Amino acid sequence: MKRYYLILFSLLAMACSTASTEKETKNQTIITAGGTITEIVYELGFGASIIATDITSTYPSAMQELPSIGYRNQIKAEGILALGPDILLMESGYLTADVVAQLEAAELEIHEFEKPKDLTGTYKLIEALAEFLEVPEKGKAMAPKLDRDIQELETYTSKLKKQPKMAFVMARGQENVFVAGEDTFAESLLQMAAITSVGKGFKDFIPLTPEALVSMDPEYLLFFESSLQSLGGKAGVRNIRGIEQTRAVQQDGILAFDGLYLSGFGPRVGKAALELAKSVNREEP
């Protein structure tokens, strides 16, 4: 009988310890750096724990009401520490090494996660954050929703008869215009949407030149909304040298989407790819 009570006491102690750990995690305050991380952490039920985010964390809209720590190399350690977080969850490489060193010296708990560039990375990030936040079942519950979106996308694209040519263009004003190549989120997203990326033969982003534009001759140009605004809207796009010779401009094939929605590869990536697939001028199945 004595042994029975000892075993029962041990099991109760373990249960209380687990509950205490979960409670502690849920009560900790979090700063997120990276819109995809913010979106997933929110979807996992920790929105109330997030006390500040970076400038890319635009979804859900409630996150825009929180204090902003800034953007990448503009972020300072002092600004983060002044908010008194327990944990910083960030995209790998999002902060400079000096800022990370200062935060570590201040004994702030920091955890880095790879930002997805493809669908596999989306599933991995959801699982990793769910495991870290000790809610693996919530992470698993998010997967079927994403699965359904991907199935709807694949059902739609499987019936399409052509793949139009598209260039994803990143711009910060007229003097800083780049085109996406291979091994980028843009290549992965266009492939998902059954669209041919013209960014072939180079990786990452390269400056967009008139010669490249003429040789690529995309039917569509895809921008972040913020990039298009920095150029002065569709009218400003025409000021890019060589762009008037492309079918994209001649046929008014200029598209723009919210930056996080388009590039985040978060839980909404299936919906984003489907919307992009439907946005190009071709007959729907």
> pLDDT tens across 108-151, in order?
999 999 999 999 999 999 999 999 999 999 999 999 999 999 99
* Integer Cα distance of 77 and 190 in angstroms: 37
The pLDDT, as a whole number, for residue 26 is 62
* Residues above pLDDT 70, as percent of the chain: 89
The string of pLDDT tens digits covering residues 58-73 is 999 999 999 999 999 9
Q: Quick one: pLDDT band at residue 13, thresholds 50, 70, 90?
A: very low
Distance between the two ends of the chain, CA-based, in angstroms? 72
The pLDDT, as a whole number, for residue 283 is 58
The pLDDT, as a whole number, for residue 70 is 97
- Beta-sheet strands, E only, within 147-207: 165-171, 177-180, 196-197, 205-207
pLDDT at 8 over 50: no
pLDDT at 31 over 90: yes
- Please classify residue 29 by burial: count the beta carbons closer than 10 Å to its beta carbon, then call 0-12 exposed, 13-18 middle and 19+ buried: middle
- Beta-sheet strands, E only, within 104-253: 109-113, 165-171, 177-180, 196-197, 205-207, 220-224
Tell me the pLDDT of the chain averaged across its residues: 90
The string of pLDDT tens digits covering residues 41-99 is 999 999 999 999 999 999 999 999 999 999 999 999 999 999 999 999 999 999 999 99
DSSP state string for 81-95: HHT--SEEEEETT-S
The string of pLDDT tens digits covering residues 210-228 is 888 889 999 999 999 999 9
Comparing CA positions, the residue from 148, 131, 168, 156 lying closest to residue 267 is: 148
Q: Quick one: pLDDT band at residue 2, thresholds 50, 70, 90?
A: very low
Structure token pair of residue 217: 């001759």
- Whole-model pTM: value is 0.87
Comparing CA positions, the residue from 87, 86, 57 lying closest to residue 69 is: 57
Q: Which domains does the chain have, with CATH numbers?
A: 2-115 (3.40.50.1980), 159-278 (3.40.50.1980)
Q: Who's near 53: CB < 8 A, 6+ residues apart?
A: 31, 32, 33, 35, 38, 63, 66, 68, 69
Comparing CA positions, the residue from 11, 7, 36 lying closest to residue 113 is: 36
Q: Quick one: pLDDT band at residue 284, thresholds 50, 70, 90?
A: low
The pLDDT, as a whole number, for residue 196 is 97
